[in-house]
Amino acid sequence: MDLRQLQQFVVLADTGNFHRAAERLHMAQPPLSISIRKLEADLGTPLFVRTTRGVRLTQAGEAALADARRALFHAEQARAAALSAAHGERGALRVGFIGSATYALLPRLIPAFRAAHPGIELILHESTSASILDRLERGQVDAGLVRFPILSAGPFTLTPLEEDTFVAAVPADSRFAAQESIALKALADEPFIMHPSAEVPNQQAVAMLLCQQAGFVPRVTQEAVQVQTMVSLVESGLGVALVPGVTARYTNRRVRFLRLSSPRPTARIGIALATREGADDRHVQHFTTVARGMMQDG
C-alpha cells in the first residue's frame, strides 16, 4: 500500500465510478482498476462492490475511508512542512549573543525577525564573542551577535549592525563624576576593571591599546567577562572601566559614563552578526536580511 493507492481509493469512493475517478486522477481507467484490485489484495478484503452503474463501498471500505483521508492529510502536512523548512520558513535558528546586545540590539531584532518569519523558532544562547565564534565554527550555533573588531582570523562573515565607542565608567562619588567627558590619561592612576584576555581577547586588546595611546599601561585589579558585571564592580567602588557607550542607556545613579575627549578612538567598536563563510542556510539568510534591513532603517 502506498500514498498513490490511498489517493486513488479516496477519489474512487468520492466519485463512485471508475471512469470519473480516472479523469480526476488524470490517468487511464485500466491502470486504476488494476491498482485498486492490488490494494484490495494487499488488504485481504474487497473495498468496493462493483455494479453496472459504478461502485459502492463495502463495510471494510467504509471503515478504511476515514483513516485513508487522515493519512493523505498528514502526508500533505509533512510535504508542506518539508517545503517550508527547505525555503527557510519552518524549523529553528540557533543564535549566540553577547550580554550587551540586550541593551538595544536584541529588543529590536527579535520582534522584527519573529514578525517576518513566525514559523522559525529562535533558540538564543548568551556567551562571549570568542565562545560564540568557536561554537559557530563547530556548527553548534547558526549565527552570532559578537563584538568587533575581531582580532583573530576565522571562516566567518561579519555584518556590522551597531557601531559604538568606549566610554569611561566611574563611580558616582569619584572626583571625576561631575564631568561630561574626560581625557583617558586622567585615569592613569586609577585601578582598572577589564575583560580577561583569555575569555574576551578582542575587547581587552582594544581597551589596552586605547590606554597605551593615552600614554599609560592600566593597573588592572579586577577582571569580569560580562559588561554588566564590570559596571556592577565600578558601582561597588573597585575601580574604573572602559565599556561600550550603549551601556549608558541603562542609567545607574551610582555609576557615571564619561565620553573620552582624548585619545580619540581610532578603531570603532560595535556588534556584528557573524555567520559561517559561504553558508547557504535559508534560516541564516532570512536572519541576515532582517538584521540588515533593521540597520538601514536606523
Q: Are residues 122 and 36 in the same domain?
A: no
Q: Which amino acid is at 220?
A: V
Q: Is the pLDDT higher at 243 or at 1?
A: 243
Q: What percent of the chain has pLDDT over 90?
A: 58
Q: In this structure, are residues 97 and 145 in contact, taking their beta carbons and an 8 Å threshold?
A: yes
Contacts of residue 107, Cβ cutoff 8 Å, sequence gap at least 6:
none
Contacts of residue 283, Cβ cutoff 8 Å, sequence gap at least 6:
88, 91, 92, 93, 120, 142
Over range 209-229, report the average pLDDT.
Answer: 94
Q: Are residues 185 and 229 in the same domain?
A: yes
> Which of the listed residues 42, 68, 86 is the one where a domain comes to its end?
86
Q: Is the pLDDT higher at 296 or at 66?
A: 66
Torsion (CA) 111, 116, 119, 123 in degrees, nearest 10? -40
Q: Are residues 39 and 111 in the same domain?
A: no
Q: Are residues 110 and 28 in the same domain?
A: no
Alpha-carbon distances of 28 from 19, 188, 213, rounded to whole Å: 8, 90, 84
Report d(CA 169, CA 230) in Å as an integer.
Answer: 9
Q: Are residues 53 and 23 in the same domain?
A: yes
> Which of the listed residues 41, 66, 86 is the one where a domain comes to its end?
86
Residue corresponding to grid cell 578603531:
267
Q: Are residues 254 and 274 in the same domain?
A: no
The predicted structure's pLDDT at residue 201: 86
> Exposed e or buried b for every residue in 212-238, given b needs 16+ CB within 10 A?
eebeeebebebbbbbbbbbbbbbeeeb
Q: Are residues 200 and 246 in the same domain?
A: yes
Domain with 184 in it: 166-267
Residue (of 214, 274, 265) closest to 244 by Cα position: 265
Over range 264-273, report the average pLDDT.
Answer: 77
Q: Are residues 156 and 274 in the same domain?
A: yes
Q: Is 111 exposed, middle or buried (0-12, 13-18, 19+ CB in 10 A)?
A: exposed
Over range 135-145, report the average pLDDT.
Answer: 94
User: Predicted confidence band at 154 (pLDDT cuts at 50, 70, 90)?
Assistant: confident
User: Predicted confidence band at 257 (pLDDT cuts at 50, 70, 90)?
Assistant: very high
Q: Enter the C-alpha cell of residue 27.
A: 490517468
User: Predicted confidence band at 270 (pLDDT cuts at 50, 70, 90)?
Assistant: confident
Q: Are residues 134 and 212 in the same domain?
A: no
The predicted structure's pLDDT at residue 144: 95
Over range 258-272, report the average pLDDT.
Answer: 81
Q: Are residues 274 and 132 in the same domain?
A: yes
> Which of the listed residues 59, 86, 113 is the one where a domain comes to its end?
86
Beta bridge partners of 184: none
Q: Identify the CATH number of the domain in which residue 52 sits.
A: 1.10.10.10
Q: Are residues 82 and 69 in the same domain?
A: yes
Alpha-carbon distances of 163 from 49, 75, 147, 256, rounded to whole Å: 75, 48, 10, 21
For 70-125, the pLDDT digits (tens) are 888 788 777 766 766 666 667 889 999 998 888 888 989 999 999 998 888 899 99
Report d(CA 208, CA 151) in Å as an integer.
Answer: 13
Helix, strand and coil in the chain, % to nearest 5: 45, 25, 30
The predicted structure's pLDDT at residue 267: 56
232: pLDDT strictly greater than 80: yes
Q: Are residues 117 and 49 in the same domain?
A: no
Beta bridge partners of 276: 156
The number of distinct structural domains making up the chain is: 3
pTM of the complete model: 0.65
Mean pLDDT of the chain: 89
Q: Identify the CATH number of the domain in which residue 239 sits.
A: 3.40.190.10
Over range 137-152, report the average pLDDT.
Answer: 89
